[in-house]
Amino acid sequence: MTRMPTYFISHGGGPWPWLPEMRRGFAELERTLAAMPSEFPEKPKAVLMISGHWETADFAVMSSNAPPMVYDYTGFPAHTYEITYPAPGAPTLAQRTADLIKAAGLPTHLDDQQGFDHGVFAPMAVIYPEADVPTYQVSLQHGYDPAAHFALGRALAPLRDEGVLIVGSGLSYHNLRNFGPGARVPSTEFDTWLNDVMLRDPEERTQALLNWETAPSARIAHKEEDHLAPIFVALGAAEADASTVTYHEEGIFGGVTATSFRLG
């Protein structure tokens, strides 16, 4: 089995693939997500997502054989609360994942009730529209401690050699109260810093991300870092690998600059 890359993706907004107007606004994001399978060395055995929309007291691992749906958004048309993304789960890999997390000294448990949130099913509906690749999640941990999430990524790294694609799903700017034109300056400042950091040597890159709050406009870009923390996991799982930009766009959500990255 060839080693899989890892990704941090800016996943867009809500159930956007099912809303024509939003979908047009995310045409470039859709193009890059749809292109991802062509970048893999082979079809993954499973996709492991770390989404900004699921967090627990520890690092929970989704273990359902057929995960349900979680419609974790409000104010959208009725049909978006009937969306299904029927990818199978990966209970055997979930146990393997929990064992790796536990072996790293991190707290974890299996969760056979949790379903796919929109940070997973929206991008996955574009990446694998046939829903034919087993998909599961590991939660963020409350508090978003960067060091703990880097440690999680390091614990998950062996899965890359076992056919598992690890994807951190968030957004490089996520301040819902400051979308629109007011996001233009802070998102550009933070995104410029992030792009620069991601091109640095691995050790320097890790240190910069551990201290991300010192970045320009950091706390404007992320009042809470739920949508940034997935990048710590993706980096931890590919800490020695170079990164490349897979998606970069200015002006989404009326003024937001956003970027996605691949490692390896």
pTM above 0.85, yes or no: yes
Q: Is residue 157 part of a domain?
A: yes
Q: Is residue 206 part of a domain?
A: yes
pLDDT at residue 178 above 90?
A: no
Beta carbons of 43 and 37 less than 8 angstroms apart? yes
At 49, which CATH number?
3.40.830.10
Q: Is residue 1 part of a domain?
A: no
Q: Is residue 134 part of a domain?
A: yes
| Residue 196 lies in domain | 6-263
Q: Secondary structure of the chain: what % helix, strand, coil (to 5)?
A: 45, 20, 35
Beta carbons of 168 and 233 less than 8 angstroms apart? yes
pLDDT at 118: 97
CA distances 65 to 52, 71, 126, 262, Å, are 22, 19, 22, 28
pLDDT at residue 176 above 80?
A: no
pLDDT digits (tens, 9 = 90+) for 81-113: 999 999 999 999 999 999 999 999 999 999 999
Question: Would you state the structure tokens that stand for residue 185, as one six-digit string?
Answer: 């300056």
* Number of domains making up the chain: 1
Q: d(Cα 200, Cα 198) in Å, to the nearest integer?
A: 6
Q: d(Cα 7, Cα 260) in Å, to the nearest integer?
A: 8
pLDDT at residue 186 above 80?
A: yes
